[in-house]
Amino acid sequence: MPKELKQWRLITVGIVKRKVADIIKEYDLPQETQLLGYVVHIEESDEFLAVHENTSEMERWGWSHTPENAKLYRRSDKAIKVAQRCKSEAMVCSLFDTGPQLMVFPLWPED
């Protein structure tokens, strides 16, 4: 897919593409902070998608109250596709390891 088209698709779903270094600076995170990947999060119930299985016979969803148990996606576009299939209003967040704790930041700004 051409880069311009990919960026247009990200803009149409409201995703703000930011560099990891910019997020670390903005939130005053430790310099050793690492991006682990992307997680699906339901803010209202503060749950993270932990299990998602989709077969021809069934679709199974499992949720966790902690990001440590969340299903981790390496690519944001895959997490977005899964989040769009959730029955609840789900958002995709970046998951960061700061050393002493994990932190999540939404990919798109809140209204």
pLDDT value at 104 more than 50: yes
d(CA 53, CA 24): 33
For the chain, give the mean pLDDT.
82
C-alpha dist (Å) from residue 56 to 24, 53, 94: 42, 10, 30
Give the mean model confidence (pLDDT) for residues 84-105. 89
Domain ranges for the chain, please list them.
18-106
- Predicted confidence (pLDDT) per residue in 38-74, tens digit: 999 999 999 999 999 989 999 899 999 999 999 999 9
| Six token digits for residue 9 | 């698709």
Cα-based torsion angle of the residue sequence 25, 27, 33, 35 in order, rounded to the nearest 10 degrees = -100
